[in-house]
Amino acid sequence: MKRNQWEDHYTRQARKERWLARSVYKLQEIDRKFRIFARGDHVLDLGCYPGSWSQYALGKIRPRGMVVGIDLKVPDHLSDPRFRFLQADILTLEPESLQDKAGSLNVVMSDLAPQTTGVKDVDVARSMDLVRKASEIALKMLCPGGRFICKVFEGEDFQDFRAEVSSRYKQVRVFRTGATRKKSREIYLIAKGFHP
């Protein structure tokens, strides 16, 4: 079988362990280091397709709890009674419209990534639009003490964004995961202890 050019150790391991994407190892590393999930948590997964982050979260919050995933694409290999999916463009989504579906949340996580163009400034700006929207949703929907994780393509607006997030959470860390490809500009912001 012809394998794609991006295949690496994490891709093969994900296939072997039946995860829906290699990106699961980024969330696993973040969770092991920063202890994101607890049993019974309500979680919102922004940019959830194909579903490995939701899959991972479902395993951590059992036996109760739930995950709501949002993406432009339908994660059709993920079926679990505690998973709900909304097909939508988050840039045009009203956070209020999520209230019925998701209620008050313990964790908002965003692995949203724009279609990259190869033009650095364009890709960084698009990533920043997505992450700002994810942060707006988190501010409206997290319960006190809630946690917010988001992927950002590092660029000149990053420090301002970090400062904005820091004003609303007790602890904010920046983390680059081992599973992130060497050439990638992606980093993760991990915020804990939301205070409305």
Ligand X SMILES: C[S@@+](CC[C@H](N)C(=O)[O-])C[C@H]1O[C@@H](n2cnc3c(N)ncnc32)[C@H](O)[C@@H]1O
Catalytic sites, residue numbers: 151
Whether residue 160 contacts residue 128, with contact meaning beta carbons closer than 8 Å, is answered with no
Nearest residue (beta carbon) to ligand X? 47
In the complex, the smallest distance separating the C-beta of residue 112 from ligand X, rounded to whole angstroms, is: 4
Chain residues 5-44 in contact with ligand X, contact rule CB under 6 A: 20-21, 23-24
Near ligand X in 134-193, by CB under 6 A: none
Position 73 contacts ligand X (CB under 6 A): yes
Verify binding: residue 68, ligand X, rule CB under 6 A. no
Torsion of CA 55, 103, 152, 35, to 10 degrees: -60
Instruction: Tell me whether residue 57 or residue 165 sits nearer to ligand X (CB atom).
Output: 57
From the list 43, 71, 179, 189, which residue makes contact with ligand X (rule: CB under 6 A)? 71
Cα–chain-centroid distance for residue 114?
A: 13
Distance in angstroms (rounded) separating the CA atoms of residues 134 and 144: 17
Near ligand X by CB under 6 A, which window of 7-15, 87-95, 135-143, 174-182?
87-95
Closer of 50 and 65 to ligand X (Cβ): 50
The footprint of ligand X on this chain (CB under 6 A) covers a number of residues equal to 23
Contact string (CB under 6 A) for ligand X, positions 102-121, x = contact: ---------xxxx-------
The total of other beta-carbon atoms located within 10 Å of residue 186's CB is 16
* CA distance to 5, 71, 72, 92, per residue, from 67 (Å): 32, 13, 17, 21
How far is the C-alpha of 35 from the C-alpha of 147, rounded, in Å? 10
Instruction: Give 119's contacts (C-beta < 8 A, 6+ positions apart).
Output: none
Measured from the CB of residue 56, what is the shortest distance to ligand X in angstroms? 8
The residue ranges that bind ligand X (CB under 6 A) are 20-21, 23-24, 47-53, 70-73, 89-91, 111-114, 130
